[in-house]
Structure 1
Amino acid sequence: MKHCLVVFILLSCTVVVGQNSVLSFRENLLVKSNINTQNESFSIQNNNQSILVNANNTYRLEVGANYKFLGLKIGFSPSSRSSDFKSKFLNSQLNIFLKQWIQSFEYRKVQGFYQDNNAQLLAQFPDLKTTSWLGTTSYVLNNNFSLKHLTHLNEWQRETAGSFVPTLKYGFNRLSNSIDYQKVAENSFDVSFAPAYYYTWAFKEHWFISSSIAPALGVRFTTEKLNNITNKDTFISRALDLTLQFGYTSETISAGASFNFDSNAINKDLTQSMVNDKSYASLYFGYRFTPPNFLKRTVEQIESTLGL
C-alpha cells in the first residue's frame, strides 16, 4: 500500500502541457471485441468456516459498438470443456459520452460455482447465483487527457498527458444460494467514491503505455435472509484498482492489452460476500468505419431531440 501511495503522489504532481492532443472519432462507428481472464469469486461463511468458490470460466468474450454519444456492449463466458462443472455468465452495458463525462449502466448475471483446492474439485454450488445492476459516473478533469482512448476506443490521445478522474460507483447486487437445504439470499446496495488518476505516455506517433491507480472508499447496505430470519447491516468498503495498459492506435484501428489488479474488502464477514482480490489480463481490438446512413440519421435525430 505504501508503494501505491508513492506512485499516486508522483503521478498527481505531474504537470502536463499541450493543446488539442485528443482526436475524437465520434463521427465514426467503432466495432470492438475483447477477451479477458476475469472471473467471479465468493467467500461463503458456513459454520464459522470460510469456503472460497469460483465460477468455472476460463475467459470472457465481449463485443460492442460506439457511435457519437452512445456505446453498447454485451459479454458472455463459455464454460470449461475440460470439466463437468458448468457456470453461466452474461452481462450487458450501456455507455453515454457527454464531453468530459462518461456514464455507464451495467447488468450482470453469474450462476454456478465450485470449490477449488490444489486443482482438485471438491464441491459444486450450482444454485449459487449473483445478479447485479451497476452504475458508474466519471469526469475527466484534464481536457488534454482521454479516458475514452483507453476504455472505449472512440478517441485518440496523441500526446503524453495525465488526469484525475473522480468516479462515483453505485449498484445493487443480489446473491442467492441453498445451504443445507436452506434458502439464503443477500441483497446489497453499494456506493463508493474513487479519486482515480490516469497517466498515458504516447510515443512513436501510434503507440502508448498507460497506468492508473484508483483507491476507493464507500459504504454497503445489506439485507440478509435465511429462511424466516432477516438481518440488516451497514459496512464500510475499501478498494484499490491498479491498471497497466499498452497498445496501438491509428485512424482506423485500436489494439492492445491491459493488466489489472482489483482488491475489495469490507469491515465484517457476511454469510456470502464477494471477493475481488485478484489479477487478470485482457486483449482488445477495435475497428472504425463510416456508419451506415440509417444509423447516422437515427442518432442525429436523437441528438437533435435531446439537445446534444
Structure 2
Amino acid sequence: MEYCDFSGGFTHHITASLVLLVTVFVFPLYAQTDTTAIVNYGDKIILKANIDTQTDAFFYKNNEDGSRLHIKPNNRYRMFLSLDYEFIGVSVGIVPKFLGANSDENLKGESSFTDYQFRFFLGRWVQGLSYRKTSGYYVRNTKDFAPTWTEGSDPYIQFNNLYIKTYGMSTSYVFNPNFSYRNIVYQNEWQKVSSGSIIGSLFYDYNIFDLNEPNVVNREKFFNIRLAPAYYYTFVLHENWFLSANLSPSLGLRISTAESGLENNLDVENNAYVTRALSSGLNLGYSSKRVIYGVNINFSTNWYNEDNVSTTENDQFYGVLYFGYRFDPPRAIDQIFHPDKSN
C-alpha cells in the first residue's frame, strides 16, 4: 500500500466543492419533484439483499522511520438485509458463515460484525442513523514484526479483543429535483431520464476504539464531523437499465480522547485533527416494477496526520452485489400509512 500526499490538490478540490455547494444553496429547499422524470415506488415494500467485500481495515505509518501497521478483521464478505416502505428504511448487516466468512480462523483469529441502519426520506432530504460494531483483528503485515514468520503456516499477530463501535448519523440534501438519489442508493425510485445533481451531506459519528484487555486500558474515544459535497450523474441506458457515477471529496474534524494505563492510573490525552477523504463509485443497475438488481464498484480513502511523523489512513476498494423485490403491502399496513384510502 502506498501512502501518497494528496493534500495540496485535495484542498483545492475541497475549496471548489464548498464554494459550489454554498452557491447553489440559495435554490428553494422545497421544490417539488418532477413526476415525469422520477417514478416513486414508496408505496411498495422493498426487500433487498446486499453482499459486499468492504472491511474495516486501518493503516498506521510512521513517516520518519517508514514503519507501518496494517490491521483488519477476518471477514471476507458482509451481507445486508434491508426493508424500505414509504419514508422509512431499515438495514441489518451480518457476516454470513455460508459465504466463507472468518476464513482461516486458526491463523487469523475470529472476527464479528454487526450493523444496524435506519433512514428517513423527507422530500429531497435523507436522514440516516446507524450503529456498527466490529471486533477481532489481526496484523496483516505480521512479517514486518516477526521476520521468521511464515505465511500460511504460522498464526498472524492477533488482537482478538479489539473492538470498534460507531454510532453514526448523516444528513443529505439533493439539489436537483429531477435527479433521484434514492434510485441509485436505495432503489425505491426510478429515474426515467439522464440527469445529475450535487448532493450535500453532513456526516457525524461517535466512535470507541478499545483493545479491551483485562486490567489494562488502551482506549480511544473520538467524534468525527465532516462535510461531503458530492456530484452524482445517472445515465439511463434503457427503459430498465442505468449507469451512475459519483465523486465526493470531504473535509472534517476529529476530536479525540485517548486513555492508556492501569484502571486506577490513567494517562489521558486530548487531540483534534483535520481529516480529509475522497470517494467515488460506479453503479450498474436494473429496475422493473417488481425486480431490482445491480453491482457497485466503490473506492474511498481517508486520512489524517496524528503528528509530524505519524499518519493514519483507511483505503478501501470494494464491490457490492444487490438484489431486491417490490411488492404491495398487506392491507393492514397500507391503511396505517394511508388511512384515507377507501376500503
Smaller-chain TM-score range? 0.7 to 0.9
Render the CA deviation track for 1:60-106: whole Å, top value 9, x for unaligned. 00001000000010001143243321100000000000110111100
**What TM-score do you get using the length of structure 2 for normalisation?**
0.78
**What TM-score do you get using the length of structure 1 for normalisation?**
0.87
Q: Is 1:219 the equivalent of 2:237?
A: no
Percent of aligned pairs with the same residue? Answer: 32
1:242 to 280, 284, 288: 280
- Give me the CA root mean square deviation: 2.8
Render the CA deviation track for 1:223-281: whole Å, top value 9, x for unaligned. 000020000011101000111111111111111000000100112259x9974211000
Q: Is 1:65 the equivalent of 2:83?
A: yes
2:121 counterpart SS class: strand
Match of 1:276 in 2: 314
User: In structure 2, what is the Cα distance between the partners aligned to 1:179 and 1:50?
Assistant: 23
Higher Rg of the two aligned structures = 2
2:199 counterpart SS class: strand
2:292 to 238, 241, 254: 254
Match of 1:185 in 2: 219
Equivalent residue pairs, number: 291
User: In structure 2, what is the Cα distance between the partners aligned to 1:105 and 1:298?
Assistant: 23
User: In structure 2, what is the Cα distance between the partners aligned to 1:256 and 1:31?
Assistant: 14
User: In structure 2, what is the Cα distance between the partners aligned to 1:80 and 1:100?
Assistant: 39
User: In structure 2, what is the Cα distance between the partners aligned to 1:274 and 1:146?
Assistant: 35
Query: Mind listing any 5+ residue stretches in structure 2 that lack a counterpart?
Result: 1-5, 21-33, 144-150
Contact 1:41 1:274 survives alignment (8 Å): no
Contact 1:42 1:273 survives alignment (8 Å): no
Render the CA deviation track for 1:110-139: whole Å, top value 9, x for unaligned. 000001238555201101100000111000
> Are the structure 2 counterparts of residues 135 and 274 from structure 1 closer, same or farther at C-alpha, using a change threshold of 3 Å?
farther
Higher-strand-fraction structure: 1
Spell out the pairing of 1:1-308 with structure 2 (5 A cutoff): 20-43=36-59, 49-78=67-96, 79-84=101-106, 85-117=109-141, 121-177=155-211, 182-227=216-261, 228-268=266-306, 275-300=313-338
Contact 1:56 1:80 survives alignment (8 Å): yes
User: In structure 2, what is the Cα distance between the partners aligned to 1:299 and 1:262?
Assistant: 38
Render the CA deviation track for 1:22-44: whole Å, top value 9, x for unaligned. 10001111000000000011346
Amino acid at match of 2:289: E
